[in-house]
Structure 1
Amino acid sequence: MKKLIPILLIAVLCFSCYNSQNDKNTSELQNILAEVDSLKKLVQEKATTENGQITTFLTFQEYNAEEAMNFYVNVFENSKILDIRRYGKDSPAKEGAILMARFELNGSQFACSDSYIKHAWNFSPAVSNWVDCASEEEQKRLLARLSEGGNIMMPLDNYGFSTLFAYVEDKFGVYWQLNLD
């Protein structure tokens, strides 16, 4: 049920943008409602097979969810794409964009989508992905790859809470904490 909250929030946002004086808006609303129903069904199907699974969900606003997902799957070992659902021809989003995709990064589940609604918010350094690195070599490799086109917020160093630590924002605006104990 908690997984439905983001979907319902999107539906409420869509309803708030609805203008009942225009037939085109009525058609778009029907498309949005159909997609919300599809998302709810997907979430319910996943909930029955993965009870209690908590998944990090990344919302991309520049139609680059697929690029980001492919990048992460290539950066992290033992990673794979699990499922991709795309927006259709008659959807309010760009055809072929990611409606919802699931992927795994070294055993941790993630999901992502391309939002056709431009939100006032984006990713924040207050929320990040913590990565326990197996070796200094792995940590340096991850830092190098994730910082390509991004920003190193805290360079590799001993900050007292970790033997070696780095904090990086990648080129998509997602934040990563790379830890080595």
Structure 2
Amino acid sequence: MKKFISLIALIVLFNCNNKSLNEELDNLRSENYELKKEVDKAIADSKRQITTFLTFQNKDAEQAMNFYVSIFKNSKITEVRRHGKESPAPEGSILMARFELNGSQYACSDSYIKHEWNFTPGVSNFVDCASNEELESLFTKLSENGKVLMPLADYGFSKKFGFIEDQFGVSWQLNLDE
């Protein structure tokens, strides 16, 4: 009889401990689920950032994007979507593309609608250059077939500064504060 009571006591104790373990396991699962929701939200929020969007009207979005990625360090194309056969735009033109220039997010497209507006120097890309060599290299490459709005010089607000409109009509302010 003592063995039977001891066995029942062990079963009751095991069930109590098992319930406790199951409750703990359920709590951990719930906490894990909540943490996963927070991580998913943080990832989604990181994708909702302000991105410079360039609308090209001469079907040269891809050419411009490739040019920019080639001259800025730590840059890459991250997404390219093209117009298809059923689109009102020319097949293969850029519907939407995303790229990074040294960590800054950009997006672009080829507009099949000719707008009355285009790029303006009133909105430009401001680049803080790490060295005089970088500044001069970017200035040379970006101004080729473009227009120099302010030549490289000391204008009193930085050591060296230049303002250009590139061959695609996009404006760049290049700055050296060394």
> For this structure pair, what is the TM-score category when the shorter chain's length is used for normalisation?
0.7 to 0.9
Q: Match of 2:105?
A: 109
Q: Match of 2:162?
A: 166
Matched, 1:70 2:66: yes
1:128, 1:144 → 2: CA distance? 17
Indicate the RMSD between aligned Cα atoms, in angstroms. 1.2
Q: Match of 1:127?
A: 123
Question: Does the residue aligned with 2:138 lie in a helix, a strand or coil?
Answer: helix
TM-score w.r.t. length of structure 2: 0.74
2:116, 2:73 → 1: CA distance? 33
The letter of the residue matching 1:131 is V
Deviation at 1:100, TM superposition (A): 0.2
Greater CA radius of gyration, 1 or 2? 2
Deviation at 1:173, TM superposition (A): 0.1
2:164, 2:138 → 1: CA distance? 10
The letter of the residue matching 2:89 is A
Q: Match of 1:148?
A: 144
Deviation at 1:48, TM superposition (A): 2.7
Question: Does the residue aligned with 1:113 lie in a helix, a strand or coil?
Answer: strand
Q: Match of 1:53?
A: 49
1:51, 1:102 → 2: CA distance? 12
Matched, 1:138 2:134: yes
Question: Does the residue aligned with 1:154 lie in a helix, a strand or coil?
Answer: strand
Render the CA deviation track for 1:118-146: whole Å, top value 9, x for unaligned: 00000001000000000000000000000
Question: Structure 1 segments of 4 or more deviating over 2 A?
Answer: 47-52
The letter of the residue matching 2:123 is V
1:81, 1:172 → 2: CA distance? 18
The total of aligned residue pairs comes to 135
Question: Does the residue aligned with 2:139 lie in a helix, a strand or coil?
Answer: helix
Gaps of 5+ in 2: 1-42
Deviation at 1:50, TM superposition (A): 2.7
